[in-house]
Structure 1
Amino acid sequence: MRALLKTCWAALAVFAVLTLAGCQTTGTQNNKLTEAQYAYSAAIRWGDFEGAANMIDPDLRKKLAPTAMQLERYKQIQISSYHDAGTEVDKEKGSAARVINIGVINRHTLAERSVRYVEAWTWDPESKTWWLISGLPDLWEGQ
């Protein structure tokens, strides 16, 4: 009876450790997503589009990084607001999407408009980093 009780306690302890380890991994992944999104949104809010481009997935960076001309265009605007309108995370696929409403002011005309943008993120388990896979927002869409 004592041996059975010890085995049950040992199994329970192993289960608890594995469960907590799983929670820690998920918690760390969620924390890293929050940190990445905060850093990205701060870069956009402050007009640091080159810094924001560094958060693009390295495999996609050549394809999605802004050109010199696009970076010059970004200098013609000022971000007045950056609001999260909803986030969806798929832990199984290691992906996340966040809908953003961005207030944009044209520095030359001082006209303000609102742009809706969807950030797409992917989790890289090797580097334990979230990477942006949607590229920088197109703040001139429809114009």
Structure 2
Amino acid sequence: MNRILRPLVLTCLVLLLAACAGGGGQRSPRDQMLYHYVSAVRWSDFDAAYGFLDPAWLAANPMTDAERERYRQFQVSGYEVKSAREPAEGEYEQVVEVRVVNRHTQVEKLITDRQRWRYDAQAKRWWLASGLPDLDAAR
């Protein structure tokens, strides 16, 4: 009996230790914001992604109904962060490759999105200060 029980207990102990070690810490507020933004974009929910835009950027660049319809014309098929950096405290930049498929023509194109994020200490949140991906900036 001891020969059977010992390997089983050891296996359970190893699995338990692996689960505890892989748990990691809690995400930072910036990483949480990026996670939710990526989720919105990957699901092609540009209306939700619009909610991440910096109010100062929106005031200078209001989105028209025609621009909203243009975003609805595309389905995101890929989103990959190529590089990221923190140029200063409260700032974050990343270069992302976004693959989109035109729902009407079924043509896929690759967009390089250079994102700038800034932390708003008063609102206690991160804002996308560079706008949504430019659908006409295919490479």
Structure 1 residue 51: Cα displacement: 1.2
| 2:47 corresponds to 1:50 | yes
**In 2, Cα distance between the equivalents of 1:108 and 1:134?**
27
| 2:137 corresponds to 1:136 | no
Structure 1 residue 125: Cα displacement: 1.3
TM-score relative to the length of structure 2:
0.75
Contact 1:53/1:66 (<8 A) preserved: no
Residue identity matched to 2:130: S
Match in the other structure for 1:20: none
Residue identity matched to 2:118: T
Contact 2:111/2:138 (<8 A) preserved: no
Match in the other structure for 2:82: 85
| 2:38 corresponds to 1:41 | yes
Question: Unmatched 5+ residue regions in structure 2?
Answer: 1-24
Per-residue Cα deviation, 1:48-82 (whole angstroms, up to 9, x for no partner): 11111111112222323421101101111110000
Per-residue Cα deviation, 1:88-129 (whole angstroms, up to 9, x for no partner): 01343x110011001111111111111111110001112221
Residue identity matched to 2:44: G
| 2:97 corresponds to 1:101 | yes
**In 1, Cα distance between the equivalents of 2:71 and 2:110?**
15
Q: Residues 86 and 142 from structure 1, CA distance in 2 versus in 1: closer, same or farther, beyond 3 angstroms?
A: closer
Q: Residues 100 and 67 from structure 1, CA distance in 2 versus in 1: closer, same or farther, beyond 3 angstroms?
A: same
Instruction: Tell me the secondary structure at the aligned position of residue 116 of structure 1.
Output: strand
Instruction: Tell me the secondary structure at the aligned position of residue 66 of structure 2.
Output: helix
Match in the other structure for 1:8: none
Q: State the percentage of identical aligned residues.
A: 35
Question: Unmatched 5+ residue regions in structure 1?
Answer: 1-26
Instruction: Tell me the secondary structure at the aligned position of residue 56 of structure 1.
Output: coil
My pick for the range that moved more, 58-67 or 109-118, is: 58-67
Contact 1:56/1:64 (<8 A) preserved: no
Residue identity matched to 1:47: S
Residue identity matched to 2:61: L
| 2:111 corresponds to 1:115 | yes
Q: Residues 38 and 139 from structure 1, CA distance in 2 versus in 1: closer, same or farther, beyond 3 angstroms?
A: same
| 2:106 corresponds to 1:75 | no
